[in-house]
Structure 1
Amino acid sequence: MILEREKVCAIFYQIRAIHQCHSIFQIALSARVKEWDTVQKLGDVFVASFSKSMVLAAYSAYVNNFNVAMDTVRKSCANKPAFDEFLKEQQSKNSDRMDLAGMMLKPIQRFPQFICLLQDLLQHTPAGHTDRMSLQLALTRLETLAGRLNERKRQTEQRHEVRHVLKNLNVKYSTKATTASTRCLIRQDDMLQK
């Protein structure tokens, strides 16, 4: 075994769910292209495919685990020469020579790419076209989704920082709110003692 199952799961966390989201999108998009002469719409396919809660859940989990995944790859390459050699061999077989880190960035880059694509489609879609409103809605939904992913990532990073500070202070941390407010203020300063 080149790499332990737990490490493989940490590296590829939520990849199957993300693949499922995009497989559904690809099926819907292919079906739409087959009837292109009569329909000529794409916006509703984007809206239907990326408005599902499973998309936000899968991508949030992937993005929030990304640093753990990259750290696992880095440490595994350093500690397991067979794994490092395997990755190099796979990269050399890959037509674009992309390494694992580059491939792991692809899901994170997907929504900004879709947003740019929708902006371009809107720029080249006449005002009276039947797809104009659904393209605008799709753009709004994807921008909202990207914003929610960023917000969830920010919240996760804040929770990790709080845990880190409390751990250094040797204080136990609970994710359950102990008061009516779920807000807390932790201040960390450097001090000089004279």
Structure 2
Amino acid sequence: MSSRDTNTFSTKEIKRQEAIYELYRGEQDLIEDLQLARKAYHDPMLKLSIMTEEELAHIFGDLDAYIPLHEELLVKLTEGTGSDGTVAQIGQIVIDWLPRLNAYKNYCSNQLAAKALLDQKKQDRRVQDFLQRCLESPFSRKLDLWSFLDIPRSRLVKYPLLLREILRHTPPDHPDVTSLETAITIIQEILSDINVRKGESECQYYIDKLEFLDDKQRDPLIDKCKTLLCHGELRNKSGSRLHVFLFSELLVLTRPVTRNERSCFQVYRQPIPVRDLAMEDLQDGEIRMGGSFRGAFTNGEKAKNVFRVSSLDPSHGQTHTLHVSDVYHKQQWLNCLRTAMSQQQGAPARVQRGETIPAKSHSSVSSTTVCDEEENENCPPPVSGPKLRPQTLSKTRLDQKLQGSLKRKETGV
């Protein structure tokens, strides 16, 4: 667009065209990154026999198939560009193209397993050395392999934001207003569907990693679990670490173990159905931790951020006191438990002492420790940090005002 031409456009229209170009440029960057992931990582590792073809297929998915998908949008946007370099109407172009993004359902659903396999393969010195050399090369932009593999998901969550930015600079009487609003609804529904699929996949991934000591531990409700609400590393009263999973139907306490170089979670005692779950919010200083757990405090200092869960079923006879690292993470756990109990017990979950604050949607916990009434000093170290569901494809605000820029910010991780 020449300087003379810019004088014929209002400031609002210039901002609108900049937002449209931001969408266009982001597609170009994404295509380049997908091609780079294949040429710089996948193909060399296959050629050098650093990983098998099956392993690479599991980690990389069908990235090649998505390149034509995004090239198609570029073609449509180019065809819709006038002689003055502007796109008069973009709404219908996007409406027609967005359903193609459903192709990412399988890719996003497989990400957890793909990353787990990649992390496992990093223990191999050849893989480690190769990835380190790539990281030190200019083409990587100091991004590791997983950052490249996560770029498609990162791009998906930006579409509603980019479309809203275009809409924000579109005059109220412009024909694009209605179509852009429709496009935003379509992409939100697509992201919601992907979230559900990804959540179910994550839930099944961890269910498959549960190891039962006997058949009595295998509660039939486990097959009904479709959602993993919360999970994280735990610590019992004597200091042993556990990993707790709060599924939609069950609360499962486990010990992280390794079997034949495969990490899994050995189920501890009997899973507690959420419908039988009771929760008690313990006041700071009410519990004095004993045993080896005392080392976590100063000379047996009374614990803060503690709550207790138990089973209402007398046959279970379980009570677990949970210690959390700070008040924020404690509230996250209480909120997840409260929500699950409300859904399964048909009434608002009652906390015996104190109320929990409303749960914040799409939040995550970075460090949580919990404890259990039973003492066992031989628990292996934890394998991962605690997380809350849902946490993928969440809607966030734009970090900064989207404007026409040639900087690589659309696909950066």
1:161 offset after TM fit, Å? 4.7
Q: Which residue number in structure 2 is paired with residue 85 of structure 1? A: 129
1:144 offset after TM fit, Å? 1.0
Change in 2 beyond 3 A, CA 1:74/1:157? closer
Change in 2 beyond 3 A, CA 1:47/1:63? same
Change in 2 beyond 3 A, CA 1:47/1:68? same
Distance in 2 (alpha carbons) for counterparts of 1:108 and 1:159: 20
Aligned residues: 181
Whether 1:149 aligns to 2:197 is no
Change in 2 beyond 3 A, CA 1:15/1:38? closer
1:1-194 equivalences under 5 Å are: 1-33=49-81, 40-52=88-100, 55-56=101-102, 58-79=103-124, 81-91=125-135, 92-94=137-139, 96-164=141-209, 168=212, 170=215, 187=250, 188-189=271-272
1:36 offset after TM fit, Å? 6.5
Distance in 1 (alpha carbons) for counterparts of 2:172 and 2:180: 11
- Amino acid corresponding to residue 82 of structure 1 in structure 2: R
Distance in 2 (alpha carbons) for counterparts of 1:21 and 1:116: 20
- Amino acid corresponding to residue 69 of structure 1 in structure 2: A
Cα RMSD (Å): 3.1
Change in 2 beyond 3 A, CA 1:35/1:73? farther
Show CA shifts across 1:17-56 (max 9, x none): 322321222222222235666861112222111123xx31
Query: Is the contact made by 1:87 and 1:100 (CA closer than 8 Å) also made in structure 2?
Result: yes
- Give the TM-score normalised by the residue count of structure 2: 0.39
- Amino acid corresponding to residue 88 of structure 1 in structure 2: Q
Amino-acid identity (%): 22
Change in 2 beyond 3 A, CA 1:155/1:34? same
Query: Is the contact made by 2:59 and 2:118 (CA closer than 8 Å) also made in structure 1?
Result: yes
Computing the radius of gyration from Cα coordinates, the structure with the larger value is: 2
Structure number having the greater strand percentage:
2
1:104 offset after TM fit, Å? 1.5
Q: Which runs of 4+ in 1 moved over 4 A?
A: 34-39, 161-165, 190-193
Query: Is the contact made by 1:14 and 1:61 (CA closer than 8 Å) also made in structure 2?
Result: no
Structure number having the greater helix percentage:
1
Higher relative contact order (CA 8 A, sep 6+): 1
Q: Which residue number in structure 1 is paired with residue 374 of structure 2? A: none
Segments of structure 2 that go 5 or more residues without pairing to the other structure are 1-48, 227-247, 251-270, 273-310, 319-413
Change in 2 beyond 3 A, CA 1:36/1:128? farther
Segments of structure 1 that go 5 or more residues without pairing to the other structure are none
Show CA shifts across 1:99-147 (max 9, x none): 1111112111112211111111111101111211211111111111111
